[in-house]
Amino acid sequence: MEIEDETMDSHSEYSNDEKYKNYEHLVETIKFFQTEGRITEDWIENEKHVIERWRDWIYDFSELNLDVQDKTFRRACRDAESLISFLMNSIRTTKTFDPKVYYILLVTIKFICDDIFNTDSLDDMMRNIGI
């Protein structure tokens, strides 16, 4: 079992601990949106650096799963990459970003991580958040 973990890690830029920490931050941020809902300038400032981490993580995840040709998975990866580009462009030009777009990105990334093989899940999820 240890060898498998090392093999997986050698193909990824992220260790299993880093993957877990990324996922944990993802879930905590989604919960923050759902419970707190109070977005401050300080919060936005703190989250700016995380968006680049999501970009790298999604690219890494997509490359590690090249054998997954499911259209919903590939679309979700492309959507996440587009949302990240939009947010990063917004940060460069306005020094801030739209929290609603960020929330959609987080939910999309969570879908990619949790349920890449269930093609109906993303459509259901997007309907539930009103898209």
CA distance 100 to 43: 14
Percent of the chain with pLDDT over 90: 16
Burial class (CB in 10 A: 0-12, 13-18, 19+), 46: exposed
At 3, the pLDDT band (50, 70, 90 cuts) reads: very low
Query: So what's the pLDDT on residue 102?
Result: 92
Read off the pLDDT of residues 63-110 as tens digits, 9 standing for 90 and up. Answer: 766 666 677 777 888 899 999 999 999 999 998 889 899 999 999 888
Q: Is the pTM of this model over 0.75?
A: no
Return the H-helix or E-strand segment holding 45.
Answer: helix 41-64
At 123, the pLDDT band (50, 70, 90 cuts) reads: low
**DSSP result, 64-115:** HTTT---HHHHHHHHHHHHHHHHHHHHHHHHS---HHHHHHHHHHHHHHHH-
